Homo-oligomer: A and B are copies of this chain.
Amino acid sequence: MRFDMSTDGLLAQRMARLKSSAIRELLKHSKMDGVISLAGGIPSDALFDFQGLNEATQLAITEQPKSAFQYGLTEGSPLLRERIAELCALRGVHTQAQDIVVTAGSQQALDLVMRATTNPQDIFVVERPTYLAALQTLELAEAQVMSVSSDENGMVVDELAALLETTRIKGVYLVPNFGNPSGVTLSDARRRQLVALAARHDFLIVEDDPYGELRFTEERHATLYQLAKEAGHADRVVYTSSFSKILAPGLRLGWAILPDWLLHKVAIIKQAADLHASSLSQTIVEYYLGTGRLPAQIDKIRQAYRQKGELLSELMASELGDVLSFNQPKGGMFLWARFRQPFDTTAWLQKTLAQGVVFVPGEFFFADNPDQSTLRLSFATATEEQMHEAVARLRRAL
């Protein structure tokens, strides 16, 4: 066998460095009998709107069977793009259907944008910590990844500003609302500062917003997209989002709002990548959005996750508050914690697994300088009873 890592697939070599296979191995444990998983990044299917999905599916396959099962347009169905534009407007993101490309989840939007914009060695800046699978798309694009800190107000934009004094960058990737894994939200002041920097230093902001609707309070922030648009340079922001966390991930549908200079490139690459997103999924979501059920469904998810997030926060504070610090989640699906003393959470995972509970060690979410004393806990899928037990097991594993 002469095909091997040394001669074949530099990209694949870069991927291997990311330890994503380690994560995959880890998550297999979460399926073991009796193990409670706080590791997964998946939404709770106990909350899915099966009735609404069922009705929308019936409509799709009886009213529009040809569109649902035939090839479609690469950019996505015109009606779905209209409906997504309406959905975005409710979020304060004012765009047009023609600026939207429907993708296979926001994951594909990230991969396409990185492929379309990034040449080898171009610098992309991410938060520390950041979304693992975004790092994977950057690695595949052979970007040079740099990182800046985040705190309870999100990315520390002053650090980025300092970096920009000496370094030309291609773009910044961030999750400004209830980030994965950190759970934090970027403050208004930092949003404005970041948008101004993008204009001054000519870089692209990739605003990844899968969790923005899952807020537990009434606190809302303008999107980077909208702020940039109002400042006259919307061409500096790509906004991506997804139906995965608010409706159903198995449909594999997300979208990107793209500036003119980028949309056509992304469409050409998407055509080569998979032609277009599932026509059936698109037709179902067209009907689902047409029923007007989504706002109530989002409310339901928001209430449920808020309760779970509060419970996990209480349990963590009472059981582990002496050894760990964390910010109480204000939205999303994740609680990010940090041991007060130097600690190796990856090593600890073996002990917690022996007790029957798993999480994701924080080091996987760092592009560089991993903080090994951190960990990510998801509160989306465990029941309240499981959460009590899980935290007790974490305590016993200390």
Residue numbers of A with Cβ under 8 A of B are 1-4, 8-12, 15-16, 20-21, 24, 42, 45, 48, 50, 53-54, 57, 61-62, 65-72, 74, 103-105, 107-108, 111, 115-119, 133, 136-137, 139-140, 202, 204, 235, 244, 248-252, 261-262, 264-265, 268-269, 271-281, 284
Contacts and interface: CB of A to CB of B under 8 A. Distances in A.
A105 B274 contact: yes
A380 to B, nearest CB: 12
A9 B250 contact: no
Contacts of A244: 71
The 6 closest A-B pairs by CB, nearest first: A250-B279, A136-B272, A69-B248, A104-B274, A12-B265, A69-B250
A207 to B, nearest CB: 16
B275 A252 contact: yes
A334 B323 CA distance: 68
Given A2-B202, A20-B271, A71 B108 contact: no
Q: Which of A111, A115, A250, A265 has the most CB of B within 10 A?
A: A250
Contacts of A50: 61, 65, 69
8 contacts: A3-B262, A9-B119, A54-B65, A71-B249, A72-B250, A111-B273, A133-B271, A280-B280
Contacts of A16: 268
A315 B69 CA distance: 31
A274 B111 contact: yes
B57 A45 contact: no
Contacts of A67: 250
Contacts of A61: 50, 53-54, 57
B111 A9 contact: no
A126 B265 CA distance: 24
Contacts of A118: 9
Nearest to A202: B2
A56 B5 CA distance: 42
Contacts of A48: 65-66, 69-70
A140 B252 contact: no
Q: Which residue, A2, A136, A269, A277, has most C-beta atoms of chain B within 10 A?
A: A269
A105 B268 CA distance: 17
B273 A15 contact: no
Contact of A108 (B24, B68, B273): B273
Contact of A272 (B3, B68, B140, B280): B140
Contacts of A235: 1, 3
A85 to B, nearest CB: 22
A14 to B, nearest CB: 10
B271 A252 contact: no
Which of A21, A62, A119 lies at the interface centre, i.e. has the most chain B CB atoms within 10 A of its CB?
A119
A136 B107 CA distance: 21
Given A42-B71, A67-B250, A251-B69, A3 B204 contact: yes
Given A249-B71, A269-B12, A271-B136, A104 B107 contact: no
A211 B204 CA distance: 42
A274 B252 contact: yes
A21 B119 contact: no
Contacts of A105: 274-275
A224 to B, nearest CB: 17
A70 B42 contact: yes
B252 A278 contact: yes
